[in-house]
Chain A
Amino acid sequence: MVRFHEKILEIAEGIRTMRIRGAGKIARSAAEALKIAAETYSGEPDPELFRKYMNEAAKLILATRPTAVSLPNAVYYVMYALESNLGFKELREAVIARAEEFIRNSLEAVRKIGEIGARRIKQDSVVLTHCHSTAAATVIITAYKMGKIRKVYSTETRPFYQGRITARHLIEAGVPVVQVPDSSVRYIMHEVDQVVVGADTIASNGALVNKVGTSQVTLAAHEARVRVFVAAETYKFSPMTVIGELVPIEYRDPTEIVPKEWIDKHPNVTVLNPAFDVTPPEYIDAIITEEGVIPPQAAILILMEKFGWALEKIKQGVKQSVSFEDSIEG
């Protein structure tokens, strides 16, 4: 068993317990953990041993959240550095550089998405958002600074109340925000001009996997002919879905919904707590990435452009030093 620096274990634990949450933050934390792993490697200066050690670190990180595609994409991006035929010192530097590059690009992506997305917001808009997404919040805040937003409705987002994080985030930026319960999205939709949500994962057909409730928010928007925009960095697109893999939906602990004593007193009640749901592409008007606006059905374009190198390997079934399969099991 390899022993890792405690900071790495802390990040892994943080992702598992949702102290670190949101696909973007998870991805950046994963890259950060791999960077720390490379920096704190204390074994023999041998490229093969270093590769093995990094592999173990990658596995540890990948096992934390089975569904966040940003996690394997970030890990895969960083681990790609190990493919090059270099000596130990250069290899280690390459890993660190790639991790830093990922973090930098990711933060830059949010800023770009904010700019591009804000252009799509109409003057004097009332915007509704679900859950908490840094990318979606950045679109809203950027549009607000351009004087385009009158009001934001933010859903509470049970069971974890990520909507309260959104409310805090927007309040800090001075945006007028009103929280509403998830059950009231159809009631409130007639006041809404546009919906902006983030993404956990985007499948190759343009379907969006995001916080549970997203699909019914978009259904209610669709019914009311309210436009729906998804703010998503390109590393949220899932290469594995190209070969038909399903995106597994994680079920979380029922005590997030009701306390354990309630569950114990109700043996005939099963409390089900799926973390995500799937929004079909027809309910999405556009996906806003740092590369530009695309219709959801063109998701495959992003996958080919951004993950072409990975796609080839996935299709060939070549067992990678870190395989995607490790990450989607369970």
Chain B
Amino acid sequence: MYEELFKHGYAKRDTGTSLVFTLIDELRDSASTGDLGRVVEKYKQLVEKIMRDRPASYGAINALRLIGEYLLSKGLEGFMEYLDSLRRKYDRDCWEAARVAANRIVDGDVLITISNSLCVRRVFKLLVDQGRKFEVYVMESRPGMEGLDTASYLNDLGVKSYLIVDSAARFFMKNVKKAVIGAEAIAVNGAIVGKVGTSLLSLIANEARVRVFVVAPLYKFSLETIHGELVKLPEGDWRLLMSPDVRKSLPNEYRARAPLYDVAPANYIDGIATEYGLFAPQAIPVIIKQVYGSFPPRIRSLDEIGKLLEEKIGGGA
């Protein structure tokens, strides 16, 4: 539609949560065949795809873990219903986290946000439904420029917003009251993995004493980081920053790195809004213990689950 935007590398992409919904839909399709082998095959493909394209997307990784465990213990029995209930749970948790965050916004607040997050959108939606008045600065969020999609969403909600380049965040921070952002993953020490620029935004907010709230249901928590795993941060190249035509106009030797995520340290985050309430990022082990019954929770890695599933299929056939 906006030809010119493709020159800037604008691209539609799934948010961390909508990615989970897409995953569930794809598994649902393959499960309708009633063939466990095919479902496991599909499952493995999805795991591979996520680990390749979105290795920091813990909404998807945690969903795949739960689904894998279900397949291990029950196979396809009640699988469809399980997928539906999982979808409903993710959807509900995202709304609940948004509701908690919305409670922190008061009439007349000026917010700033980056990228495009489903749960952050829901914060805006709830505020509009409650009749609260607010304005939003939206960073364009290169690479990908999905900030434009957030601005479009706010436009349709009838909320006044200001679209700015990523470089202008500090310039406008003096006008802002609160930063509201989404997350791709949350590490056990409270560090937030978000779209690249998130850590810069939270640094700038802190410098200006602007509070930073992260809307992240518990499914975004990276349980692997408890065992010292690092969240993998993928990078792209010039293809995420411009069209092939624009690339042709640049010298052959031109090189670009396009990081997709960065990590905001816990001390720049004032609160994480989850479906269980608003927490200090450093309190994460407490909620994890509450929810899983122990700390560290007993979980299996996707690799382990994949291997067990293979044995199960192999043994069953």
Contacts and interface: CB of A to CB of B under 8 A. Distances in A.
B158 A268 contact: yes
B155 A277 contact: no
Interface stretch (B15-23, B65-73, B81-89, B166-174): B166-174
B165 A257 contact: yes
A220 interface: yes
A21 interface: no
Given A167-B250, A182-B142, A187-B262, A269 B165 contact: no
Interface in A125-164: 155-159, 164
A267 interface: yes
A269 B155 CA distance: 6
Interface stretch (A41-49, A65-73, A91-99, A208-216): A208-216
A330 B147 CA distance: 31
Contacts of A84: none
Interface stretch (B105-113, B116-124, B178-186, B196-204): B196-204
B155 A167 contact: no
Interface string B137-160: 011111100001001101100111
B299 interface: no
Contacts of A277: 167-168, 170-171
B241 interface: yes
Contacts of B258: 180-181, 184
B292 interface: no
Most buried by B among A177, A211, A257: A257
A172 B261 CA distance: 31
Nearest to B167: A213
B197 A183 contact: yes
B156 to A, nearest CB: 8
Contacts of A257: 140, 163-165
B162 interface: yes
B229 interface: no
Interface string A3-29: 000000000000000000000000000
Given A168-B251, A183-B200, A257-B140, A270 B160 contact: yes
B92 interface: no
A212 B204 contact: no
Contact of B199 (A187, A259, A273): A187
A156 B241 contact: yes
B170 A183 contact: no
B245 interface: no
Nearest to B137: A272
Most buried by B among A183, A184, A223, A261: A183
Given A186-B262, A259-B5, A272-B162, A216 B169 contact: yes
Contacts of A262: 2, 5, 148
B129 interface: no
A302 to B, nearest CB: 26
A259 B171 contact: no
A177 B196 contact: no
Contact of B170 (A156, A216, A223, A273): A216
Interface string A179-223: 111111111100000000000000000000001110110011001
A184 B53 CA distance: 19
A86 interface: no
A188 B162 CA distance: 27
A274 interface: yes
Interface string B249-267: 0110111111100100000
Nearest to B260: A184
Contacts of B172: 272
A213 B250 CA distance: 23
A212 B169 CA distance: 9
A186 B263 CA distance: 9
A268 B5 contact: no
A164 to B, nearest CB: 6
B198 to A, nearest CB: 9
B160 to A, nearest CB: 6
Contacts of A211: 167
A178 interface: yes
B162 A182 contact: no
A155 B258 CA distance: 11
B38 to A, nearest CB: 40
Interface in A254-287: 257-259, 261-262, 266-274, 277
Contacts of A249: 171
Interface of A: 155-159, 164, 167-168, 171-172, 177-188, 211-213, 215-216, 219-220, 223, 249, 257-259, 261-262, 266-274, 277
